[in-house]
């Protein structure tokens, strides 16, 4: 079996991005299961085609995308991706779409098929805060989540896709008016627990 886990590069003037940095801390194997990792650009168009290409090339059995949410107090497991790009700030290529559908003929929203409640319990059992979220936003994170879910539908069998938002690291939080933070090691531990719970359900 194979799992695809993606994160993002830095953006918005914040040094580093825990969603990309934590990939280096995740194991390459989880028991007999291979973990393929990829850092995506914070660019709407490029991130969309890169996540679609990763799914079609790697043919993973499960996909977990990660992103940064400044202000988050826990690992946030996203329930739904919506068909909308509405950027509060330009991406790293200067694109700032407003009220733009991701796919003109796509569904308004798609729910993640992963066992999110079970994953949340596993993360908490590992001593890491976790909560469910009903909005992945309308920035590049949601764009990647939506494209991944749509691409998965075209594969046989379609792999389940999920998205988890991560808090700032303590170092980043100091530069952001002491916003909530979580150590990278805690994020790693929580993500390993989440992956194990998701894989157990397959």
In 3-state terms, what secondary structure has residue 26?
coil
CA-closest candidate to residue 190, choices 75, 27, 43, 54: 75
CA atoms of 193 and 32, how far apart (whole Å): 16
> Taking a C-beta distance cutoff of 8 angstroms, is the pair 185, 25 a contact?
yes
> Taking a C-beta distance cutoff of 8 angstroms, is the pair 27, 21 a contact?
no
Q: Is 65 a catalytic residue?
A: no
Report the half-sphere exposure of 164 (CA within 13 A, side-chain side): 33
Q: Per the residue annotation, which of 78, 143, 154, 177 is the catalytic one?
A: 78
Q: Per the residue annotation, which of 76, 165, 177, 185 is the catalytic one?
A: 165
Q: Is 78 a catalytic residue?
A: yes
Q: Is the dihedral of CA 41, 47, 49, 54 positive or negative?
A: positive
> Taking a C-beta distance cutoff of 8 angstroms, is the pair 77, 131 a contact?
yes
Q: Per the residue annotation, which of 21, 65, 141, 143 is the catalytic one?
A: 141
- Residues with catalytic roles: 78, 141, 165
């Amino acid at each position: 079996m194979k799992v695809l886990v993606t994160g993002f590069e830095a953006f918005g003037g914040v040094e580093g991005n825990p969603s990309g940095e934590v990939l280096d801390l995740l194991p390459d194997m989880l028991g007999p299961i291979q973990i393929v990792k990829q850092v995506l650009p914070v660019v709407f168009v490029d991130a969309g085609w890169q996540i679609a290409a990763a799914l079609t090339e790697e043919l993973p059995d499960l996909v977990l995308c990660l992103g940064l949410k400044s202000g988050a107090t826990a690992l946030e497991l996203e329930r739904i991706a919506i068909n909308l790009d509405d950027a509060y700030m330009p991406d790293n290529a200067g694109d700032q779409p407003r009220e733009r559908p991701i796919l003109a003929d796509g569904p308004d929203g798609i729910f993640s098929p992963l066992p999110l409640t079970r994953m949340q319990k596993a993360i908490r059992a590992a001593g890491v805060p976790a909560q469910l979220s009903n909005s992945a936003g309308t920035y590049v994170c949601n764009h990647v989540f939506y494209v991944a879910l749509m691409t998965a539908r075209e594969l046989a069998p379609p792999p389940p896709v999920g998205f988890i938002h991560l808090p700032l690291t303590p170092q980043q939080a100091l530069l952001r008016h002491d916003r909530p933070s979580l150590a990278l090691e805690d994020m790693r531990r929580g993500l390993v627990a989440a992956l194990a719970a998701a894989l157990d359900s397959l």
